[in-house]
């Protein structure tokens, strides 16, 4: 009897039933998921029928035709061929309507649609739910609380701190070009802008550009941008559990830990300073800086910011406050290097204003009109944030009569807008006269800092830093492009160059 119980035939017979049930359930779930994806695709096709696009594969969408390095080139082809907007199929059941028309931009940015959860949630393990990722009443509450950190009276003293950080960078450049006039500038500019944000927004004085730990934070930031960008475009990386098991998921986790160690240390140090006697001094100030506002903040229900909320805002502004500005400065210097006649005219304007450049003040920043025109034209050609996305919370109708239902995701392509030949004549030409005083353009034709109620809270801070960096750099160096290393544009959250931004520098006497 014991032999018959353990016989292979009886054993297989006893488990074949559960296996068959499991297989049938698995097949049923697979069919249900396939039906769900099919119905989703049919709904999207109907919703977007008024917006033609290039042919796409039913499963792989447009991804099979566009390589990572060719995304912007493909976008510009669509801008010329398809008016106002064009669907971009990521895969069979997910598409984004890419918008690059100022009238469309105005309608969308005038609403309060939430950020696209499908893409922005991938940033949450890195920067948490701070001002960038929040929506609704919580976003409004945080925005209202943090706006005083960018009051003019707060910003004015920052000019001197910005100038100090720029001079440290330029001193380093002077030393480096004594050996080789070719220089990759983005890494240096990132160190400088991080140094600036640490001093201005987080009350962290010191030589951050020579701190050994800072480059690891910047490297982690660069890795996270690439990882998030790749994840958005990969169908198999959408599930959090699966993603954590992949090599990219593990790299993402390690990079997040590195960035959090940096911001945790900043918060810890500031709290310690307040306990050591600075608390009363800070309370007596008329205006508080960014981190101090967070530390003193109370929510409308009377509770203080949780440590999680505090770090989310610090992580958000640490990233956005240094990386986007570094992108802007680097591309502006590249544009001026590529156009020596405009570079020289800017230099002459700055020399007449600042002389030897030993001192630059808040009042100087409004007295360099031609340099400001060149800065804006460079931001048009190279917007630091190539685009943002929203998920429509209700139906929308555009000025040309086309409409979309609730639930469609729209991507506002600032890069496409700024290179749209129907908006800008000869859009690939560097022409600062577009921004001459009295020039007329659509209110939503130029959006380097987005627009509407969710525009960049730090845009005034950023413009100050752009002007200070450009002015002081042009006083000390003549810039030329490196013809052997032309930048390859890469829109990985922030507009970067895949191979760096290389210039030739010559010190001016």
Distances, alpha carbon 272 to alpha carbons 184, 208, 276, in Å: 37, 19, 6
Element housing 479 (H / E): strand 477-481
Say what the pLDDT of residue 428 is.
97
> Residues in the chain with pLDDT < 70?
1-16, 64-68, 276-287, 298-303
Q: Cβ neighbours of residue 316 under 8 Å, at least 6 residues apart?
A: 127, 128, 130, 131, 132, 133
Q: Whose structure tokens read 């598409």?
A: 95
Q: Structure tokens of 386?
A: 């190539």
Say what the pLDDT of residue 246 is.
97
Quote the CA–CA distance of 34 and 40 in Å, as a whole number: 10
pLDDT digits (tens, 9 = 90+) for 130-178: 999 999 999 999 999 899 899 888 999 999 999 999 999 999 999 999 8
Say what the pLDDT of residue 300 is.
53
Q: How far is CA 386 from the centre of its chain?
A: 8
Q: By three-state DSSP, how is residue 478 classified?
A: strand
Torsion-angle region of residue 155: left (phi > 0), alpha (psi -120 to 50) or beta?
A: alpha
Say what the pLDDT of residue 179 is.
83
Query: In the 3-class helix/strand/coil scheme, how is 218-284 assigned residue by residue?
Result: HHHHHHHHHHHHHHHCCHHHCCHHHHHHCHHHHHHHHHHHHHHHHHHHHHHHHHHHHHHHHHHHHHH
Q: Cβ neighbours of residue 219 under 8 Å, at least 6 residues apart?
A: none
Percent helix, strand, coil in the chain, to 5, is 60, 10, 30
User: What sign has the CA pseudo-torsion 5, 7, 9, 12?
Assistant: positive
For the chain, helix (H) and strand (E) counts, in that order, are: 21, 11
Q: What DSSP assignment string belongs to 416-469?
A: HHHT-TTTSSSTTS--GGGGSTT----TTS--BTB-GGGS-TTHHHHHHHHHHH
Say what the pLDDT of residue 2 is.
45
Strands 409-413 and 94-99, how do they pair?
parallel
Q: Structure tokens of 167?
A: 């001079």
Q: What DSSP assignment string belongs to 131-165?
A: TTT--HHHHHHHHHHHGGGG-HHHHTTHHHHHHHH
Quote the CA–CA distance of 102 and 195 in Å, as a whole number: 36
Torsion-angle region of residue 417: left (phi > 0), alpha (psi -120 to 50) or beta?
A: alpha
């Amino acid at each position: 009897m014991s032999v018959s119980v353990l016989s292979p035939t009886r054993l297989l017979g006893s488990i074949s039933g559960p296996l068959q049930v499991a297989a049938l359930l698995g097949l049923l779930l697979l069919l249900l998921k396939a039906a769900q994806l099919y119905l989703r695709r049919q709904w999207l096709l109907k919703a977007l029928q008024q917006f033609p696009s290039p042919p796409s594969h039913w499963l792989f969408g447009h991804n099979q035709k566009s390589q990572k390095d060719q995304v912007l080139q493909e976008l510009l082809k669509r801008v010329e061929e398809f008016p106002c907007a064009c669907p971009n199929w990521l895969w069979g059941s997910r598409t984004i309507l890419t918008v690059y028309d100022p009238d469309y931009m105005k309608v969308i940015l005038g609403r309060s649609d939430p950020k696209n959860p499908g893409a922005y949630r991938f940033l949450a393990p890195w920067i948490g739910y701070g001002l960038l990722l929040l929506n609704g009443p919580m976003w409004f509450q945080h925005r209202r609380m943090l706006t005083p950190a960018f009051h003019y009276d707060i910003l004015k003293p920052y000019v001197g701190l910005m100038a100090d950080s720029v001079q440290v960078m330029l001193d380093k450049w002077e030393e480096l070009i004594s050996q080789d006039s070719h220089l990759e500038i983005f890494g240096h500019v990132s160190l400088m802008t991080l140094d600036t944000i640490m001093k201005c927004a987080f009350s962290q004085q010191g030589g951050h550009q020579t701190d050994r730990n800072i480059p690891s934070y910047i490297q982690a930031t660069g890795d996270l941008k690439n990882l998030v960008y790749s994840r958005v475009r990969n169908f198999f990386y959408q599930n959090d559990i699966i993603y954590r098991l992949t090599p990219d998921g593990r790299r993402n986790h390690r990079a997040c830990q590195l960035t959090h160690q940096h911001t945790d240390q900043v918060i810890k140090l500031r709290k310690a300073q307040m306990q050591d006697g600075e608390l009363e001094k800070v309370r007596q100030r008329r205006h508080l800086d960014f981190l101090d506002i967070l530390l003193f903040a109370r929510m409308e229900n009377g509770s203080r910011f949780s440590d999680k909320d505090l770090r989310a805002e610090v992580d958000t502004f640490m990233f956005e406050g240094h990386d986007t500005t570094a992108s802007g400065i680097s591309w502006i210097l590249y544009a001026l290097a590529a156009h020596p006649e405009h570079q020289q005219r800017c230099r002459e304007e700055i020399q007449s204003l600042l002389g030897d450049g030993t001192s630059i003040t808040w009042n100087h920043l409004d007295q360099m009109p031609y340099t400001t025109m060149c800065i804006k034209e460079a931001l048009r050609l190279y917007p630091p944030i190539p685009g943002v996305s929203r998920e429509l919370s209700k139906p929308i109708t555009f000025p040309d009569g086309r409409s979309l239902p609730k639930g469609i995701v729209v991507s506002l392509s600032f890069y496409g807008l700024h290179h749209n030949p129907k908006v800008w004549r000869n859009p690939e030409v560097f022409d600062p006269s577009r921004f001459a005083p009295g020039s007329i353009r659509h209110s939503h034709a130029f959006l380097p800092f987005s627009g509407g109620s969710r525009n960049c809270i730090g845009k005034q801070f950023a413009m100050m830093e752009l002007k200070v960096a450009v002015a002081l750099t042009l006083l000390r160096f003549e810039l030329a492009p490196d013809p052997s290393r032309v930048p390859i544009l890469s829109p990985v959250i922030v507009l970067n160059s895949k191979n760096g931004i290389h210039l030739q520098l010559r010190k001016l006497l």
